[in-house]
Amino acid sequence: MAPPGPPPSDVIALVAVVFVTFSMQFFDATRTLVAALRLTPLVFAGWLWQLVTYPFAGAGGASLWILLELLILFWFARDVFWALGRRRFWRTLVVSTTVGAVAACLIALLGGGGLAPFVLMQGQRMLIAVLIAAFATRFGDATILLFFVLPIQARWFIGIEIAFAFIGFLGSRDFAGFVGICVAIGVAWLMVSGGGSGRDLHRLRKRAEQRLLEWRLKRMRRSRGFDVIEGGGNGRDRKDPWIN
């Protein structure tokens, strides 16, 4: 999907950063720095930079698998970069991974992190998930060889990678990481598909506020035994004040 010519310098830099940070974890002098960049429960103690830095800290064991992951990262990052442009590419990458991290942290606070919270969404794994979602949204009719053998239309890869993340959750019990990946994929889809305009985001925010208000009213009614009147008259002719 990429036009002929040298690969974008931004993509080369992205892959290089992931590989360098991946390598740094195996040296005593630098492993502490890499650990500080990853998303950990220390984020609740004020290490808020981890919400942004974690996808750029390469993760995984010392095996040749990292080379395949970096190759996949390069392929999808290159095509998405040429399709979106530099500014939109980085905005999609940073916003989706950050929102995914925030969602994962909220789930972890509710006790859904398991014994190893956020393990599913560390480093290049989150970057690949987001970039595949962006590619599948932008080039839905393109054909991708799953496992380099099975041809599948790109649009189906969003569901496939969510299924892979669910399998990872079954093994790790990291529900926070699973939710974080799903949210990041959803945000990437929203931003690339054009649903991330200011007007649409305003409507989403209003709907969320409406749902939150309804939940609070129901909770008040259950806990205090109040009869809460949610609207005047029969409610059929009343315009919802939350929807513009």
Choice between 142 and 27, residue whose per-residue pLDDT is larger:
27
Over residues 140-169, the pLDDT tens digits come to: 767 776 666 677 777 777 888 889 889 988
How many angstroms separate the CA atoms of 110 and 92, rounded?
A: 27
92 within a domain of the structure (yes/no): yes
What pTM value is reported for the model?
0.74
Mean pLDDT score across all residues of the chain: 82
CA distance 100 to 185: 8
22 assigned to some structural domain? yes
Q: Count structural domains, the chain.
A: 1
Does residue 203 form part of some domain?
A: no
Owning domain of residue 80: 9-193
Asked, for residue 238, whether it belongs to a domain, the answer is: no
| The predicted structure's pLDDT at residue 220 | 72
Domain assignment of residue 1, yes or no: no
Q: Is residue 44 part of a domain?
A: yes
* CATH value at residue 175: 1.20.1540
Which of 135, 61, 59, 126 lies closest to 97 in space, CA to CA?
A: 126
209 inside domain: no
Please compute, for residue 186, the number of CA atoms within 13 A of its CA located in the half-sphere on the CB side.
10
Judged against a pLDDT cut of 90, whether residue 212 lies above it is answered with no
Q: What pLDDT digit, counting tens, does each position of 79-130 carry? A: 999 999 999 999 999 999 999 999 999 999 887 666 778 998 998 999 999 9
Q: Answer whether residue 147 is part of any domain.
A: yes
In this predicted structure, what is the pLDDT of residue 199? Answer: 52
Quote the distance between the C-alpha of residue 101 and its chain's center: 7
